[in-house]
């Protein structure tokens, strides 16, 4: 039986728990996808072996790889294709991902920060590359960011540009996973959001009765429960989103003044909170007296769970 072959770029998005992979055609269409556990503790060589196994299976199904992109959570040296520093992929720093994957897959590999990949995916797939200047922010356990300036991903002097999650929104404030205090991530990352919710529940649990019903207890609380409970009228859940939105708005206010973007694109699971998050952001931005940049910047939410791996594939195409 003759197999119909097709050309595509392979995108690999590595999170602390799961890795998502996709084969994406030049036109941006996802032909194959796969989700597998990252198994961080098994080490990077084992990881490279398992993702390569998936690609080799796809090749048997007709894939002809045009290149591959790998998005890693942490500070990435994209020239060398290595992780310099990573709070979430312990023990993976210093491993030569680019070299190991190129040797095994015999195709060109680009390695970048996972948020850069996701924002590029959102820029191409959601915004169709129309606006020139875009600030992208990814909301998950951590808060990542990416900058598209003049239609191109801006990496900065060391490839570390766009670390929006670690810009400060409250000097001396809450503790962040990076070790700093008052970072945006310490408020808008899922652990910061849950920290606030639990604190409010401890103070007056009767106000969060609906939230506790939905989550099945304070210890089982997840951001999705907060969205549901806010819709159901729970005052604590609503307060948490308003507070989270306000902190996000402060971070975005600074970025809008510095970069004057056409669009602020919010990506990631927490963006499912929708209006609860968007309303306090828009209210804050509308109240800024220095108008021009704020009148221009449109805030858009995109809940595309594949933005990371599609973006990694599209970065390989760009290279
Ligand atoms: Zn931080």
pLDDT mean across residues, the chain:
94
From ligand 1's centre to the CA of 165, what distance in Å?
A: 6
Among residues of the chain, what percentage have pLDDT more than 90? Answer: 87
By C-alpha distance, which of 16, 151, 165, 163 is closest to 92?
16
From ligand 1's centre to the CA of 186, what distance in Å?
A: 7
For the range 87-94, what are the long-range contacts, defined as Cβ-Cβ under 8 Å and sequence gap of 24 or more? 87/142, 87/177, 87/178, 88/15, 88/16, 88/40, 88/141, 88/142, 89/14, 89/16, 89/38, 89/40, 90/40, 90/41, 91/40, 91/41, 91/43, 91/44, 92/40, 92/43, 92/44, 92/47
From ligand 1's centre to the CA of 174, what distance in Å?
A: 10
Q: Is 179 strand, coil or helix?
A: coil
Write down the pTM of the prediction: 0.92
**Residues across the chain:** 319
pLDDT of residue 144: 93
By C-alpha distance, which of 170, 151, 136 is closest to 271?
136
Residue pLDDT, tens place only, 216-245: 999 999 999 999 999 999 999 999 999 999
Q: How many alpha carbons fall within 13 Å on the CB side of residue 206?
A: 0
Residue pLDDT, tens place only, 146-202: 999 999 999 999 888 999 999 999 999 999 988 999 999 999 999 999 999 999 999
From ligand 1's centre to the CA of 193, what distance in Å?
A: 14
Mean pLDDT in residue range 269-278: 84
Q: Is 207 strand, coil or helix?
A: helix
pLDDT of residue 202: 96
Contacts of 312 (CB under 8 A, 6+ apart): 11, 12, 13, 68, 69, 70, 71, 110, 112, 114, 117, 121
From ligand 1's centre to the CA of 45, what distance in Å?
A: 28
Contacts of 152 (CB under 8 A, 6+ apart): none
From ligand 1's centre to the CA of 142, what distance in Å?
A: 9
By C-alpha distance, which of 35, 31, 45 is closest to 15?
35
Mean pLDDT in residue range 77-96: 89
Q: Answer yes or no: is pLDDT of 1 > 70.
A: no
Q: Answer yes or no: is pLDDT of 319 > 90.
A: no
From ligand 1's centre to the CA of 87, what distance in Å?
A: 10
* Angle, CA of 197, 214 and 265, to the nearest 5°: 60
From ligand 1's centre to the CA of 296, what distance in Å?
A: 29
If you count DSSP H runs as helices and E runs as strands, how many of each does the chain have, helices first? 11, 12
Q: Are 217 and 203 in contact (CB under 8 A)?
A: no
Structure-token pair, residue 187? 């408020």
């Amino acid at each position: 039986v003759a197999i119909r072959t097709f050309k595509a770029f392979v995108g690999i998005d590595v999170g602390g728990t799961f890795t998502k992979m996709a084969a994406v055609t030049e036109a941006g269409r996802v032909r194959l996808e796969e989700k597998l556990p990252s198994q961080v503790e098994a080490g990077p060589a084992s990881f490279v072996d398992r993702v390569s196994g998936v690609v080799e299976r796809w090749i048997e199904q007709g894939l002809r790889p045009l290149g591959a992109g790998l998005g890693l959570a942490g500070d990435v040296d994209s020239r060398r294709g290595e992780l310099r520093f990573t709070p979430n992929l312990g023990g993976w720093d210093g491993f030569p991902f680019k070299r190991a994957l190129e040797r095994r897959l015999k195709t060109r590999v680009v390695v970048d920060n996972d948020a850069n990949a996701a924002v590029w995916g959102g820029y191409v797939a959601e915004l169709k590359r129309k606006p020139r200047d875009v600030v992208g922010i990814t909301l998950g356990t951590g808060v990542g960011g990416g900058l598209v300036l003049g239609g191109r991903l801006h990496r900065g002097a060391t490839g570390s540009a766009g670390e929006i999650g670690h810009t400060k929104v409250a000097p001396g404030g809450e503790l962040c996973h990076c070790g700093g205090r008052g970072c945006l991530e310490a408020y808008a990352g899922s652990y910061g959001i849950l920290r606030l919710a639990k604190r409010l529940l401890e103070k007056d649990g009767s106000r969060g009765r609906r939230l506790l019903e939905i989550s099945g207890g304070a210890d089982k609380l997840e951001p999705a429960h907060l969205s549901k409970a806010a819709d159901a009228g729970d005052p604590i859940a609503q307060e948490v989103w308003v507070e989270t939105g306000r902190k996000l708005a402060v971070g975005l206010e600074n970025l809008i003044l510095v970069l004057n973007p056409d669009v602020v694109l919010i990506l990631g699971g927490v963006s499912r909170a929708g209006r609860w998050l968007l309303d306090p952001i828009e209210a804050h931005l509308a109240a800024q007296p220095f108008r021009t940049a704020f009148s221009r910047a449109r805030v858009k939410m995109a809940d595309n769970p594949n933005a990371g791996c599609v973006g990694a594939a599209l970065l390989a195409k760009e290279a």
